[in-house]
Amino acid sequence: MKQVIDLRPVYHRREDRIRAHVILCWLALFLARIAENACGQTWPELRRELSRIHIGTFTGPAGTFRQRTELTKPQRDILKALQIDVPPRIYQLKLPVEA
């Protein structure tokens, strides 16, 4: 935890909001360190790998559905190390409205 918390810019004037901002920044840093220790990778590496997971929306005659990209082995390893369930492949399915 030997890193400076990046608190700037702070656009708050009230003390309670500034205090909440500092606590949220500290919490974010704490969670990043937990993820780094659990996975043995740096936060930028984890973020870069997980940011490659996307959801696409597909529409056709059978309806519309939202589907996430296939997970790579490194992505699965990160989720397993963090004890996070693999997100569902299909998120939303809407059947076409019949006229």
Report how far residue 34's alpha carbon sits from residue 72's, in angstroms, rounded to the nearest whole number.
Answer: 22
Number of residues in the chain: 99
DSSP helix/strand/coil, 23: helix
Residue position matching structure tokens 């400076």: 4
- The pTM (predicted TM-score) of the whole model is 0.73
Convert the pLDDT of each residue in 42-83 to its tens digit: 999 999 999 999 999 999 888 899 999 999 999 999 999 999
In whole angstroms, give the CA distance from residue 43 to residue 34. 10
